[in-house]
Amino acid sequence: MTDAPTPVRRALISVSDKSGLVERARRLTEHGIELISTGGTARALKEAGLDVRDVADLTGFPEMMDGRVKTLHPVVHGGLLYLRDNPDHVAAAEAHGIAPIDLVYITLYPFEATVASGADFHTAIENIDIGGPAMLRAAAKNYAHVAVCTDGADVDAALDEIKSGGVSLALKKRLAAKSYARTAAYDAAISGWYARQIEDTAPDWAAVGGKLNEALRYGENPHQSAAFYVTGEDRPGVATARQVQGKALSYNNINDTDAAYELIGELGAEQPAVAIIKHANPCGVALGADLLSAYRSALACDSTSAFGGIVALNGALTGPLAEEITQIFTEVVIAPGADEAAMDVFAKKKNLRLLITDGLPDPAAPGLAVKTVAGGLLMQSRDNGRVGRADLKVVTKKAPTDAELDDMLFAWRVAKHVKSNTIVYARDGATAGIGAGQMSRIDSARIAARKAEDAADAAGWTEPRTKGCVAASDAFFPFPDGLLQAAEAGATAVIQPGGSIRDDEVIAAADEAGLSMVFTGMRHFRH
């Protein structure tokens, strides 16, 4: 094997994504490179006036079976795989009339996009590419002699070197590595989709894959490297949003913005809602008559923690709301839309990131959550559990009022998006105090109460908003102490999953304290 650049004399092109196809093919021919192609790609090149040899002429077999079989032939794969510096390979190629193929440019059938569009089972199956991955893998295996291009940028990189005499070994290795990653991600998308079709929640083999969206400056900390990959899932959020302005998103920005928008999706679009997130936990969430009033209520819950936070909205950002948001330092705002007045306000804050989505994420939609551990992956279905009034079981002598039930369901939906253990106090459609991520549930209850007291002091209120609030616990109370702490903070009603061996003790304590309490029968741990 030599490190010297190798010339390219023949290129095989077969692309589903034809953007830039003709221009790149023409540049290849300008270097005296013979073009071989298939089906629609060949037609597009011929219509552009380029000289193209059809693969069917090369193999002696026509495309058949609706195009399922066209490149699966020894003449094609032999041309990709034989080692030019191996005398036995060269002799076999000459004996069977196999000519070398020095470059392949292949974009695969758009399986991911087809699934994301909501296509039916048959349509998805027909968009599984067979010949494309086979050729990419063959060319990548023979990286020393073949430049394998999976997109237009790869062809451009190869052309930059071809004009100087040939493609370097270093570039061919990089292209080969990228090719295997592309086919791996493609197969991961197919296997994941297939597992969902047959409702296999724990397949014998599991694969995850994604496409680089951008390399990040660093990870959670400056000494960690990081990159952002997208899976192709058609879910409104940080991965699919359009960034209108501001600095590039950091690793922590992306993580926090995802948490913020998933929470806002949980609240739906029926009533204006705002969530303010810091370190993936909400520091304030509220419903309101409009987004401006909702923002003010959310900010009042913990204005100190909101500094440098993420703001998520379930409606279009307006000029007056933009003015209000820019009164404190905010990292990111994500919303379904924004008017011109809001854009003008934010334009004065060059570093403030504004992300626009096409809608809200569906909290009930299925999906996967993946977490790495040493030597393995933990995979689970997305927590898409939902409860409504009909699901609630009143377990105390005192029943909650309609207003308390509304606040209970609101607090419960917020609690689902707070790190465990969590206690959320809420009143009048707004969080009054949030205790997140504590090892003890009673500590979460105390922290939430203290947050409410701090907010009252900052606002000059006579009492914290926890007086007359409801309390939500993401998991059951193992002892009455956490419940009694919530009562001491001012809660009059409690929503929790139930299921403790001491439920009777907790219910008795609630009755003695004059609380109403409901069980959901569903837990929302979040780690």
- Catalytic positions are 141, 279
Contact predicate 323/341, CB 8 Å: no
Burial (Cβ within 10 Å: 0-12, 13-18, ≥19) of residue 45: buried
Question: What does the alpha-carbon distance between residue 507 and residue 513 come to, in Å, rounded to a whole number?
Answer: 10
Beta pairing, strands 470-473 & 353-356: unpaired
Cis peptide preceding 255, ω within 30 of 0: no
Contact predicate 226/219, CB 8 Å: yes
Q: Which amino acid is at 131?
A: G
Alpha helices in 109-168 (DSSP H): 111-116, 121-126, 131-141, 152-162
Instruction: Order the strands of the 103-107 sheet from edge to edge.
Output: 52-54, 34-37, 10-15, 103-107, 147-149
How many whole angstroms from its chain centre is CA 436? 24
Question: What does the alpha-carbon distance between residue 447 and residue 456 come to, in Å, rounded to a whole number?
Answer: 14
Burial (Cβ within 10 Å: 0-12, 13-18, ≥19) of residue 296: middle
Helix then strand then coil, % of the chain, to nearest 5? 40, 20, 40
Burial (Cβ within 10 Å: 0-12, 13-18, ≥19) of residue 474: buried
Q: What H or E segment, with its residue span, contains residue 377?
A: strand 376-381
List C-alpha distances in Å: 55 to 22, 30, 109, 314, 498. Answer: 18, 21, 18, 52, 66
Taking Cα atoms as reference points, which of 396, 389, 416 lies closest to residue 472?
416
